[in-house]
Structure 1
Protein backbone atom coordinates (compact mmCIF):
# COMPACT_ATOMS: atom_id res chain seq x y z
CA UNK A 1 0.00 0.00 0.00
CA UNK A 2 1.26 3.53 -0.73
CA UNK A 3 0.47 4.55 2.87
CA UNK A 4 0.94 2.31 5.90
CA UNK A 5 -0.82 2.74 9.24
CA UNK A 6 0.69 2.17 12.66
CA UNK A 7 -2.14 1.95 15.18
CA UNK A 8 -1.77 3.32 18.73
CA UNK A 9 -4.01 2.66 21.70
CA UNK A 10 -5.65 5.74 23.19
CA UNK A 11 -8.96 6.62 24.80
CA UNK A 12 -9.15 9.78 22.68
CA UNK A 13 -9.86 8.06 19.36
CA UNK A 14 -8.84 5.36 16.92
CA UNK A 15 -5.39 6.77 16.22
CA UNK A 16 -2.77 5.82 13.65
CA UNK A 17 0.53 7.20 12.49
CA UNK A 18 0.81 7.25 8.69
CA UNK A 19 3.95 6.52 6.72
CA UNK A 20 4.55 6.97 3.00
CA UNK A 21 6.28 3.78 1.94
CA UNK A 22 9.47 4.39 -0.06
CA UNK A 23 8.71 1.24 -2.02
CA UNK A 24 5.23 2.50 -2.98
CA UNK A 25 5.93 6.25 -3.16
CA UNK A 26 5.66 6.28 -6.97
CA UNK A 27 2.24 4.66 -6.70
CA UNK A 28 1.03 7.32 -4.27
CA UNK A 29 2.31 10.07 -6.56
CA UNK A 30 0.44 8.54 -9.50
CA UNK A 31 -2.80 8.24 -7.51
CA UNK A 32 -2.59 11.87 -6.39
CA UNK A 33 -1.78 13.04 -9.91
CA UNK A 34 -4.94 11.39 -11.25
CA UNK A 35 -6.97 12.92 -8.43
CA UNK A 36 -5.68 16.41 -9.28
CA UNK A 37 -6.62 15.76 -12.91
CA UNK A 38 -10.16 14.88 -11.73
CA UNK A 39 -9.74 11.28 -12.87
CA UNK A 40 -10.94 9.60 -9.70
CA UNK A 41 -11.69 6.30 -11.42
CA UNK A 42 -8.12 6.07 -12.64
CA UNK A 43 -6.85 6.92 -9.16
CA UNK A 44 -8.88 4.02 -7.80
CA UNK A 45 -7.58 1.74 -10.54
CA UNK A 46 -4.00 2.51 -9.52
CA UNK A 47 -4.88 1.75 -5.88
CA UNK A 48 -6.39 -1.55 -7.03
CA UNK A 49 -3.24 -2.34 -9.08
CA UNK A 50 -5.16 -2.06 -12.36
CA UNK A 51 -4.00 -0.30 -15.51
CA UNK A 52 -5.39 3.27 -15.76
CA UNK A 53 -7.62 4.02 -18.75
CA UNK A 54 -6.32 6.57 -21.24
CA UNK A 55 -8.21 9.84 -20.98
CA UNK A 56 -7.47 13.05 -22.84
CA UNK A 57 -6.88 15.95 -20.46
CA UNK A 58 -9.47 18.67 -21.15
CA UNK A 59 -8.59 22.26 -21.89
CA UNK A 60 -5.85 23.61 -19.65
CA UNK A 61 -6.60 21.34 -16.69
CA UNK A 62 -3.05 19.97 -16.44
CA UNK A 63 -1.57 23.46 -16.63
CA UNK A 64 -3.91 24.67 -13.88
CA UNK A 65 -3.04 21.66 -11.71
CA UNK A 66 0.70 22.25 -12.06
CA UNK A 67 0.14 25.88 -11.08
CA UNK A 68 -1.68 24.77 -7.90
CA UNK A 69 1.21 22.46 -7.07
CA UNK A 70 3.81 25.20 -7.56
CA UNK A 71 4.69 27.47 -4.66
CA UNK A 72 5.98 30.07 -4.37
CA UNK A 73 5.38 31.88 -7.66
CA UNK A 74 8.53 32.78 -9.60
CA UNK A 75 7.50 36.44 -9.83
CA UNK A 76 7.21 36.68 -6.03
CA UNK A 77 10.65 35.12 -5.55
CA UNK A 78 12.07 37.69 -7.97
CA UNK A 79 10.36 40.56 -6.15
CA UNK A 80 11.65 39.27 -2.81
CA UNK A 81 15.17 39.52 -4.16
CA UNK A 82 15.04 42.72 -6.21
CA UNK A 83 11.87 44.65 -5.36
CA UNK A 84 11.41 47.74 -3.24
CA UNK A 85 10.95 47.37 0.51
CA UNK A 86 7.17 47.50 0.08
CA UNK A 87 7.24 44.98 -2.76
CA UNK A 88 9.50 42.62 -0.79
CA UNK A 89 7.18 42.73 2.22
CA UNK A 90 4.10 41.98 0.08
CA UNK A 91 5.93 39.25 -1.85
CA UNK A 92 7.09 37.61 1.40
CA UNK A 93 3.51 37.47 2.64
CA UNK A 94 2.23 36.00 -0.65
CA UNK A 95 5.02 33.40 -0.66
CA UNK A 96 4.12 32.22 2.84
CA UNK A 97 0.40 32.09 2.01
CA UNK A 98 0.93 30.27 -1.30
CA UNK A 99 3.00 27.56 0.38
CA UNK A 100 0.45 27.07 3.16
CA UNK A 101 -2.41 26.83 0.65
CA UNK A 102 -0.47 24.48 -1.66
CA UNK A 103 0.46 22.19 1.22
CA UNK A 104 -3.04 22.23 2.69
CA UNK A 105 -4.64 21.16 -0.58
CA UNK A 106 -1.98 18.53 -1.27
CA UNK A 107 -2.46 16.99 2.16
CA UNK A 108 -6.21 16.77 1.56
CA UNK A 109 -5.40 14.56 -1.44
CA UNK A 110 -3.05 12.42 0.64
CA UNK A 111 -5.74 12.14 3.30
CA UNK A 112 -8.28 11.08 0.66
CA UNK A 113 -5.97 8.22 -0.35
CA UNK A 114 -5.51 7.23 3.30
CA UNK A 115 -9.28 7.23 3.82
CA UNK A 116 -9.80 5.11 0.71
CA UNK A 117 -7.32 2.56 2.08
CA UNK A 118 -8.75 2.58 5.61
CA UNK A 119 -12.44 2.64 4.58
CA UNK A 120 -12.49 0.80 1.23
CA UNK A 121 -16.27 0.31 1.32
CA UNK A 122 -17.04 3.95 1.99
CA UNK A 123 -18.48 6.43 -0.50
CA UNK A 124 -16.38 9.60 -0.46
CA UNK A 125 -16.63 13.12 -1.76
CA UNK A 126 -13.89 14.05 -4.22
CA UNK A 127 -10.99 16.16 -2.92
CA UNK A 128 -11.39 19.93 -3.21
CA UNK A 129 -10.41 21.69 -6.43
CA UNK A 130 -9.80 25.14 -4.97
CA UNK A 131 -7.13 25.98 -2.45
CA UNK A 132 -8.28 27.26 0.95
CA UNK A 133 -11.86 26.08 0.40
CA UNK A 134 -14.05 26.69 3.42
CA UNK A 135 -16.04 23.98 5.17
CA UNK A 136 -15.14 20.47 6.18
CA UNK A 137 -12.46 18.87 4.06
CA UNK A 138 -14.04 15.54 3.28
CA UNK A 139 -17.18 13.51 3.68
CA UNK A 140 -17.47 9.72 3.86
CA UNK A 141 -20.56 7.55 4.22
CA UNK A 142 -20.81 3.83 4.85
CA UNK A 143 -24.00 1.93 4.10
CA UNK A 144 -25.38 -1.21 5.67
CA UNK A 145 -25.15 -4.61 3.98
CA UNK A 146 -28.35 -3.98 2.04
CA UNK A 147 -26.78 -0.81 0.58
CA UNK A 148 -30.03 0.98 1.36
CA UNK A 149 -29.48 2.54 4.78
CA UNK A 150 -26.75 4.81 6.10
CA UNK A 151 -24.60 3.25 8.82
CA UNK A 152 -22.20 6.13 9.42
CA UNK A 153 -21.35 9.63 8.22
CA UNK A 154 -17.73 10.66 8.69
CA UNK A 155 -16.81 14.35 8.57
CA UNK A 156 -13.12 14.96 7.87
CA UNK A 157 -10.76 17.75 8.86
CA UNK A 158 -7.29 17.78 7.28
CA UNK A 159 -4.50 20.10 8.40
CA UNK A 160 -0.85 20.50 7.36
CA UNK A 161 1.07 22.61 9.82
CA UNK A 162 4.42 23.24 11.49
CA UNK A 163 2.46 23.96 14.71
CA UNK A 164 -0.46 21.51 14.53
CA UNK A 165 -1.52 21.63 18.18
CA UNK A 166 -2.30 25.34 17.99
CA UNK A 167 -4.26 24.79 14.78
CA UNK A 168 -6.21 21.88 16.26
CA UNK A 169 -7.27 23.80 19.36
CA UNK A 170 -7.98 27.11 17.60
CA UNK A 171 -9.65 25.78 14.44
CA UNK A 172 -10.54 22.08 14.39
CA UNK A 173 -12.07 21.70 17.86
CA UNK A 174 -14.29 24.81 17.42
CA UNK A 175 -15.33 23.49 13.99
CA UNK A 176 -16.37 20.14 15.46
CA UNK A 177 -18.28 21.91 18.24
CA UNK A 178 -20.13 23.91 15.57
CA UNK A 179 -21.02 20.71 13.71
CA UNK A 180 -22.21 19.00 16.89
CA UNK A 181 -24.47 21.95 17.68
CA UNK A 182 -26.11 21.44 14.30
CA UNK A 183 -25.20 24.91 13.02
CA UNK A 184 -24.22 23.46 9.64
CA UNK A 185 -26.70 20.62 9.30
CA UNK A 186 -27.98 22.11 6.04
CA UNK A 187 -24.49 21.89 4.51
CA UNK A 188 -24.04 18.31 5.70
CA UNK A 189 -27.46 17.37 4.34
CA UNK A 190 -26.69 18.90 0.93
CA UNK A 191 -23.36 17.04 0.69
CA UNK A 192 -24.99 13.82 1.88
CA UNK A 193 -27.81 13.85 -0.65
CA UNK A 194 -25.43 14.71 -3.50
CA UNK A 195 -23.11 11.86 -2.55
CA UNK A 196 -25.95 9.37 -2.12
CA UNK A 197 -27.29 10.14 -5.58
CA UNK A 198 -24.12 8.58 -6.99
CA UNK A 199 -24.92 5.25 -5.28
CA UNK A 200 -26.89 2.88 -7.55
CA UNK A 201 -30.26 1.65 -6.34
CA UNK A 202 -30.65 3.87 -3.28
CA UNK A 203 -33.36 6.44 -2.61
CA UNK A 204 -31.19 9.29 -1.31
CA UNK A 205 -33.94 11.25 0.43
CA UNK A 206 -35.50 8.17 2.00
CA UNK A 207 -32.09 7.04 3.28
CA UNK A 208 -31.53 10.47 4.83
CA UNK A 209 -34.98 10.41 6.43
CA UNK A 210 -34.15 7.10 8.12
CA UNK A 211 -30.89 8.29 9.73
CA UNK A 212 -30.50 8.69 13.44
CA UNK A 213 -28.73 11.98 12.73
CA UNK A 214 -26.74 12.49 15.94
CA UNK A 215 -25.82 8.81 16.24
CA UNK A 216 -24.56 8.48 12.66
CA UNK A 217 -22.14 11.41 12.65
CA UNK A 218 -18.48 10.65 13.25
CA UNK A 219 -15.29 12.67 12.97
CA UNK A 220 -11.89 12.07 11.39
CA UNK A 221 -8.96 14.43 11.96
CA UNK A 222 -5.78 14.08 9.88
CA UNK A 223 -2.60 16.08 10.40
CA UNK A 224 0.64 16.46 8.46
CA UNK A 225 3.51 17.86 10.50
CA UNK A 226 7.23 17.57 11.28
CA UNK A 227 9.10 14.98 13.30
CA UNK A 228 10.06 17.73 15.74
CA UNK A 229 6.46 17.61 17.02
CA UNK A 230 6.85 14.07 18.31
CA UNK A 231 6.60 13.89 22.13
CA UNK A 232 7.60 10.83 24.17
CA UNK A 233 7.74 8.83 20.97
CA UNK A 234 4.26 9.74 19.68
CA UNK A 235 2.00 12.45 18.31
CA UNK A 236 -0.97 11.71 20.56
CA UNK A 237 -0.60 15.05 22.34
CA UNK A 238 -1.66 16.80 19.11
CA UNK A 239 -5.20 15.42 19.29
CA UNK A 240 -5.62 15.64 23.08
CA UNK A 241 -9.18 16.71 23.88
CA UNK A 242 -10.77 14.94 20.89
CA UNK A 243 -13.00 12.81 23.13
CA UNK A 244 -14.26 15.81 25.08
CA UNK A 245 -15.00 17.85 21.95
CA UNK A 246 -16.52 15.16 19.74
CA UNK A 247 -18.10 12.83 22.30
CA UNK A 248 -19.62 9.55 21.14
CA UNK A 249 -18.11 6.09 21.14
CA UNK A 250 -14.40 5.50 20.60
CA UNK A 251 -14.89 4.24 17.04
CA UNK A 252 -16.74 7.48 16.18
CA UNK A 253 -13.48 9.41 16.51
CA UNK A 254 -10.58 8.75 14.12
CA UNK A 255 -7.27 10.56 13.80
CA UNK A 256 -4.04 10.13 11.89
CA UNK A 257 -0.70 11.93 11.71
CA UNK A 258 1.70 11.91 8.77
CA UNK A 259 5.15 13.10 9.84
CA UNK A 260 7.93 14.43 7.62
CA UNK A 261 11.44 15.30 8.72
CA UNK A 262 10.32 18.83 7.87
CA UNK A 263 6.68 19.23 6.83
CA UNK A 264 7.20 22.10 4.36
CA UNK A 265 10.21 20.49 2.71
CA UNK A 266 8.50 17.11 2.57
CA UNK A 267 5.31 18.41 1.01
CA UNK A 268 7.26 20.62 -1.41
CA UNK A 269 9.18 17.60 -2.72
CA UNK A 270 5.98 15.58 -3.03
CA UNK A 271 4.26 18.46 -4.86
CA UNK A 272 7.09 18.63 -7.38
CA UNK A 273 6.89 14.89 -7.99
CA UNK A 274 3.11 15.02 -8.44
CA UNK A 275 3.40 17.98 -10.83
CA UNK A 276 5.93 16.06 -12.93
CA UNK A 277 3.58 13.06 -13.01
CA UNK A 278 0.63 15.26 -14.02
CA UNK A 279 2.62 16.57 -16.98
CA UNK A 280 3.68 13.06 -17.91
CA UNK A 281 0.08 11.78 -17.88
CA UNK A 282 -1.20 14.78 -19.81
CA UNK A 283 1.45 14.43 -22.50
CA UNK A 284 1.01 10.72 -23.18
Structure 2
Protein backbone atom coordinates (compact mmCIF):
# COMPACT_ATOMS: atom_id res chain seq x y z
CA UNK A 1 0.00 0.00 0.00
CA UNK A 2 1.20 3.57 -0.67
CA UNK A 3 1.03 4.48 3.03
CA UNK A 4 1.33 2.50 6.22
CA UNK A 5 -1.49 3.37 8.63
CA UNK A 6 -1.33 2.40 12.30
CA UNK A 7 -4.55 3.06 14.19
CA UNK A 8 -5.28 3.54 17.87
CA UNK A 9 -8.17 4.59 20.07
CA UNK A 10 -8.10 7.65 22.29
CA UNK A 11 -10.82 9.41 24.30
CA UNK A 12 -10.64 12.27 21.80
CA UNK A 13 -11.05 10.43 18.49
CA UNK A 14 -10.06 7.58 16.24
CA UNK A 15 -6.35 8.27 15.81
CA UNK A 16 -3.93 7.10 13.10
CA UNK A 17 -0.23 7.51 12.52
CA UNK A 18 0.77 7.43 8.86
CA UNK A 19 4.21 6.56 7.59
CA UNK A 20 6.02 6.39 4.25
CA UNK A 21 8.34 3.41 4.07
CA UNK A 22 11.14 2.82 1.60
CA UNK A 23 9.20 -0.13 0.18
CA UNK A 24 6.08 1.85 -0.77
CA UNK A 25 7.55 5.33 -1.30
CA UNK A 26 7.79 5.02 -5.10
CA UNK A 27 4.12 4.09 -5.29
CA UNK A 28 3.04 7.09 -3.23
CA UNK A 29 5.17 9.39 -5.41
CA UNK A 30 3.55 8.05 -8.58
CA UNK A 31 0.01 8.44 -7.21
CA UNK A 32 0.64 12.02 -6.12
CA UNK A 33 2.22 12.86 -9.48
CA UNK A 34 -0.93 11.72 -11.28
CA UNK A 35 -3.10 13.67 -8.84
CA UNK A 36 -1.14 16.86 -9.48
CA UNK A 37 -1.62 16.26 -13.21
CA UNK A 38 -5.39 15.99 -12.59
CA UNK A 39 -5.36 12.35 -13.67
CA UNK A 40 -7.35 10.94 -10.78
CA UNK A 41 -8.28 7.79 -12.69
CA UNK A 42 -4.61 6.94 -13.17
CA UNK A 43 -3.94 7.64 -9.48
CA UNK A 44 -6.71 5.16 -8.65
CA UNK A 45 -5.22 2.61 -11.04
CA UNK A 46 -1.87 2.83 -9.27
CA UNK A 47 -3.58 2.36 -5.90
CA UNK A 48 -5.32 -0.69 -7.33
CA UNK A 49 -2.02 -2.08 -8.69
CA UNK A 50 -3.17 -1.55 -12.28
CA UNK A 51 -1.14 -0.10 -15.14
CA UNK A 52 -1.84 3.62 -15.69
CA UNK A 53 -3.15 4.69 -19.09
CA UNK A 54 -0.92 7.00 -21.09
CA UNK A 55 -2.45 10.48 -21.45
CA UNK A 56 -0.86 13.28 -23.41
CA UNK A 57 -0.23 16.35 -21.23
CA UNK A 58 -2.39 19.40 -22.01
CA UNK A 59 -0.84 22.80 -22.56
CA UNK A 60 1.62 23.67 -19.82
CA UNK A 61 -0.01 21.60 -17.07
CA UNK A 62 3.16 19.64 -16.35
CA UNK A 63 5.35 22.76 -16.23
CA UNK A 64 2.87 24.47 -13.90
CA UNK A 65 2.81 21.43 -11.62
CA UNK A 66 6.60 21.33 -11.41
CA UNK A 67 6.62 25.00 -10.46
CA UNK A 68 4.07 24.38 -7.69
CA UNK A 69 6.29 21.61 -6.37
CA UNK A 70 9.36 23.85 -6.41
CA UNK A 71 10.09 26.16 -3.50
CA UNK A 72 11.64 28.58 -3.12
CA UNK A 73 11.51 29.85 -6.68
CA UNK A 74 14.80 30.51 -8.46
CA UNK A 75 14.09 34.20 -9.05
CA UNK A 76 13.57 34.80 -5.32
CA UNK A 77 16.75 32.92 -4.44
CA UNK A 78 18.65 35.11 -6.90
CA UNK A 79 17.21 38.30 -5.41
CA UNK A 80 17.94 37.12 -1.89
CA UNK A 81 21.57 36.57 -2.85
CA UNK A 82 22.23 39.59 -5.04
CA UNK A 83 19.40 42.10 -4.65
CA UNK A 84 19.21 45.33 -2.70
CA UNK A 85 18.46 45.16 1.03
CA UNK A 86 14.79 45.82 0.30
CA UNK A 87 14.68 43.21 -2.45
CA UNK A 88 16.39 40.69 -0.18
CA UNK A 89 13.84 41.23 2.57
CA UNK A 90 10.90 40.85 0.17
CA UNK A 91 12.46 37.77 -1.43
CA UNK A 92 13.03 36.18 1.99
CA UNK A 93 9.35 36.55 2.85
CA UNK A 94 8.24 35.12 -0.50
CA UNK A 95 10.65 32.19 -0.11
CA UNK A 96 9.18 31.34 3.28
CA UNK A 97 5.60 31.68 2.03
CA UNK A 98 6.27 29.60 -1.07
CA UNK A 99 7.60 26.72 1.04
CA UNK A 100 4.58 26.81 3.36
CA UNK A 101 2.18 26.86 0.40
CA UNK A 102 4.02 24.05 -1.38
CA UNK A 103 4.05 21.89 1.73
CA UNK A 104 0.39 22.52 2.50
CA UNK A 105 -0.75 21.58 -1.00
CA UNK A 106 1.54 18.54 -1.12
CA UNK A 107 0.23 17.24 2.19
CA UNK A 108 -3.35 17.61 0.94
CA UNK A 109 -2.41 15.16 -1.80
CA UNK A 110 -0.91 12.72 0.72
CA UNK A 111 -4.05 13.06 2.83
CA UNK A 112 -6.24 12.28 -0.20
CA UNK A 113 -4.33 9.02 -0.69
CA UNK A 114 -4.84 8.06 2.95
CA UNK A 115 -8.55 8.89 2.69
CA UNK A 116 -8.91 6.79 -0.45
CA UNK A 117 -7.25 3.87 1.32
CA UNK A 118 -9.54 4.23 4.35
CA UNK A 119 -12.77 4.74 2.37
CA UNK A 120 -12.21 2.97 -0.97
CA UNK A 121 -15.86 3.20 -2.02
CA UNK A 122 -16.46 6.76 -0.87
CA UNK A 123 -16.73 9.83 -3.05
CA UNK A 124 -14.26 12.60 -2.36
CA UNK A 125 -13.11 15.89 -3.73
CA UNK A 126 -9.77 15.96 -5.50
CA UNK A 127 -6.95 17.95 -3.87
CA UNK A 128 -6.94 21.68 -4.57
CA UNK A 129 -5.37 22.97 -7.76
CA UNK A 130 -4.32 26.34 -6.39
CA UNK A 131 -1.94 26.80 -3.51
CA UNK A 132 -3.35 28.44 -0.38
CA UNK A 133 -6.94 27.88 -1.54
CA UNK A 134 -9.48 28.92 1.03
CA UNK A 135 -12.29 26.63 2.06
CA UNK A 136 -12.29 23.00 3.10
CA UNK A 137 -9.29 20.85 2.34
CA UNK A 138 -11.50 17.97 1.33
CA UNK A 139 -14.82 16.13 1.57
CA UNK A 140 -15.52 12.44 1.86
CA UNK A 141 -19.10 11.34 1.20
CA UNK A 142 -20.45 7.86 1.89
CA UNK A 143 -23.73 6.79 0.26
CA UNK A 144 -26.09 4.00 1.28
CA UNK A 145 -26.03 0.60 -0.43
CA UNK A 146 -28.49 1.84 -3.06
CA UNK A 147 -26.27 4.81 -3.85
CA UNK A 148 -29.13 7.24 -3.34
CA UNK A 149 -28.83 8.68 0.16
CA UNK A 150 -25.95 10.27 2.06
CA UNK A 151 -24.84 8.25 5.06
CA UNK A 152 -22.03 10.49 6.22
CA UNK A 153 -20.15 13.63 5.23
CA UNK A 154 -16.56 13.93 6.43
CA UNK A 155 -15.07 17.43 6.42
CA UNK A 156 -11.27 17.27 6.22
CA UNK A 157 -8.69 19.70 7.56
CA UNK A 158 -5.07 19.10 6.50
CA UNK A 159 -2.15 21.01 8.00
CA UNK A 160 1.63 20.82 7.60
CA UNK A 161 3.49 22.59 10.38
CA UNK A 162 6.63 22.60 12.50
CA UNK A 163 4.46 23.66 15.45
CA UNK A 164 1.09 22.02 14.82
CA UNK A 165 -0.50 22.38 18.24
CA UNK A 166 -0.83 26.15 18.00
CA UNK A 167 -2.17 25.89 14.45
CA UNK A 168 -4.78 23.35 15.54
CA UNK A 169 -6.05 25.42 18.45
CA UNK A 170 -6.02 28.78 16.66
CA UNK A 171 -7.16 27.66 13.22
CA UNK A 172 -8.72 24.19 13.02
CA UNK A 173 -10.77 24.38 16.21
CA UNK A 174 -12.13 27.80 15.26
CA UNK A 175 -13.07 26.44 11.80
CA UNK A 176 -14.95 23.53 13.36
CA UNK A 177 -16.72 25.83 15.80
CA UNK A 178 -17.82 28.04 12.90
CA UNK A 179 -19.13 24.98 11.05
CA UNK A 180 -21.09 23.85 14.11
CA UNK A 181 -22.66 27.31 14.36
CA UNK A 182 -23.82 26.93 10.76
CA UNK A 183 -21.68 29.79 9.48
CA UNK A 184 -20.34 27.76 6.55
CA UNK A 185 -23.41 25.77 5.61
CA UNK A 186 -23.66 27.49 2.23
CA UNK A 187 -20.06 26.53 1.38
CA UNK A 188 -20.63 22.94 2.45
CA UNK A 189 -23.83 22.79 0.43
CA UNK A 190 -22.17 24.14 -2.72
CA UNK A 191 -19.23 21.74 -2.49
CA UNK A 192 -21.46 18.76 -1.75
CA UNK A 193 -23.77 19.37 -4.67
CA UNK A 194 -20.81 19.83 -7.02
CA UNK A 195 -19.21 16.60 -5.83
CA UNK A 196 -22.41 14.55 -5.97
CA UNK A 197 -23.31 15.74 -9.47
CA UNK A 198 -20.38 13.65 -10.68
CA UNK A 199 -21.90 10.51 -9.12
CA UNK A 200 -24.00 8.53 -11.61
CA UNK A 201 -27.58 7.70 -10.68
CA UNK A 202 -28.03 10.18 -7.84
CA UNK A 203 -30.10 13.35 -7.64
CA UNK A 204 -27.49 15.52 -5.93
CA UNK A 205 -29.78 18.27 -4.69
CA UNK A 206 -32.41 15.84 -3.40
CA UNK A 207 -29.76 13.79 -1.58
CA UNK A 208 -28.39 16.93 0.10
CA UNK A 209 -31.89 18.18 0.97
CA UNK A 210 -32.80 14.90 2.67
CA UNK A 211 -29.62 14.30 4.67
CA UNK A 212 -29.80 14.62 8.47
CA UNK A 213 -27.11 17.27 8.67
CA UNK A 214 -25.95 16.91 12.27
CA UNK A 215 -26.18 13.13 12.23
CA UNK A 216 -24.18 12.68 9.04
CA UNK A 217 -21.45 15.26 9.64
CA UNK A 218 -18.00 14.11 10.76
CA UNK A 219 -14.59 15.76 11.10
CA UNK A 220 -11.15 14.53 10.10
CA UNK A 221 -7.96 16.40 11.07
CA UNK A 222 -4.63 15.36 9.52
CA UNK A 223 -1.25 16.85 10.35
CA UNK A 224 2.23 16.58 8.86
CA UNK A 225 4.91 17.49 11.37
CA UNK A 226 8.32 16.57 12.76
CA UNK A 227 9.37 13.76 15.07
CA UNK A 228 10.32 16.40 17.63
CA UNK A 229 6.59 16.85 18.28
CA UNK A 230 6.26 13.30 19.61
CA UNK A 231 5.66 13.17 23.38
CA UNK A 232 5.97 9.97 25.39
CA UNK A 233 6.09 8.12 22.07
CA UNK A 234 2.81 9.58 20.81
CA UNK A 235 1.25 12.51 18.92
CA UNK A 236 -2.25 12.50 20.40
CA UNK A 237 -1.55 15.65 22.41
CA UNK A 238 -1.65 17.60 19.14
CA UNK A 239 -5.42 17.10 18.88
CA UNK A 240 -6.25 17.42 22.58
CA UNK A 241 -9.60 19.17 22.92
CA UNK A 242 -11.06 17.64 19.74
CA UNK A 243 -13.96 16.09 21.69
CA UNK A 244 -14.77 19.32 23.52
CA UNK A 245 -14.75 21.35 20.31
CA UNK A 246 -16.55 18.99 17.91
CA UNK A 247 -18.75 16.98 20.29
CA UNK A 248 -20.80 14.12 18.94
CA UNK A 249 -19.94 10.44 18.98
CA UNK A 250 -16.28 9.47 18.95
CA UNK A 251 -16.88 7.78 15.60
CA UNK A 252 -17.54 11.25 14.15
CA UNK A 253 -14.00 12.44 14.98
CA UNK A 254 -10.79 11.15 13.40
CA UNK A 255 -7.25 12.46 13.36
CA UNK A 256 -3.92 11.44 11.88
CA UNK A 257 -0.27 12.46 11.95
CA UNK A 258 2.42 11.92 9.31
CA UNK A 259 5.80 12.48 10.95
CA UNK A 260 9.09 13.29 9.25
CA UNK A 261 12.50 13.60 10.88
CA UNK A 262 12.14 17.28 9.99
CA UNK A 263 8.87 18.25 8.34
CA UNK A 264 10.09 20.96 5.94
CA UNK A 265 13.03 18.89 4.73
CA UNK A 266 10.86 15.78 4.48
CA UNK A 267 8.19 17.48 2.39
CA UNK A 268 10.83 19.24 0.27
CA UNK A 269 12.37 15.88 -0.64
CA UNK A 270 8.96 14.38 -1.40
CA UNK A 271 8.08 17.38 -3.59
CA UNK A 272 11.35 16.99 -5.50
CA UNK A 273 10.62 13.31 -6.12
CA UNK A 274 7.05 13.98 -7.25
CA UNK A 275 8.25 16.72 -9.61
CA UNK A 276 10.75 14.28 -11.15
CA UNK A 277 7.98 11.71 -11.60
CA UNK A 278 5.77 14.33 -13.30
CA UNK A 279 8.59 15.03 -15.76
CA UNK A 280 9.04 11.30 -16.36
CA UNK A 281 5.30 10.72 -16.93
CA UNK A 282 4.86 13.66 -19.29
CA UNK A 283 8.28 13.73 -21.01
CA UNK A 284 8.46 17.51 -20.57
Into which bin does the TM-score normalised by the smaller protein fall?
over 0.9
Aligned to 1:283: 283
Aligned to 2:273: 273
Aligned to 1:179: 179
Aligned to 2:214: 214
> How far did residue 87 of structure 1 move?
1.2
Partner Cα separation in structure 1 for residue 95 and residue 195 of structure 2: 35
Partner Cα separation in structure 2 for residue 173 and residue 107 of structure 1: 19
| Cα deviations by residue, 1:95-139 (Å, 9 ceiling, x for unpaired) | 000000000000000000000001111100011000000011001
Which residues in structure 2 correspond to 1:211-250 (within 5 Å)? 211-250=211-250
Aligned to 2:120: 120
Aligned to 2:61: 61
Partner Cα separation in structure 2 for residue 149 and residue 163 of structure 1: 40
Structure 2, unmatched stretches of 5+, are: none
> How far did residue 209 of structure 1 move?
1.8
Which residues in structure 2 correspond to 1:42-121 (within 5 Å)? 42-121=42-121
SS of residue matched to 1:52: coil
Partner Cα separation in structure 1 for residue 75 and residue 68 of structure 2: 15
Partner Cα separation in structure 2 for residue 194 and residue 248 of structure 1: 27
Partner Cα separation in structure 2 for residue 8 and residue 246 of structure 1: 19
Superposition RMSD on alpha carbons, in Å? 0.8
SS of residue matched to 1:24: helix
Partner Cα separation in structure 2 for residue 184 and residue 254 of structure 1: 20
Aligned to 2:261: 261
Partner Cα separation in structure 1 for residue 82 and residue 197 of structure 2: 53
> How far did residue 166 of structure 1 move?
0.5
Partner Cα separation in structure 1 for residue 204 and residue 8 of structure 2: 36
Q: Following TM superposition, where does structure 1 have runs of at least 4 consecutive aligned residues deviating by more than 2 angstroms?
A: none
The aligned length equals 284
> How far did residue 193 of structure 1 move?
0.9
Aligned to 1:23: 23
Partner Cα separation in structure 2 for residue 147 and residue 61 of structure 1: 34
**Structure 1 length normalisation: TM-score?**
0.99
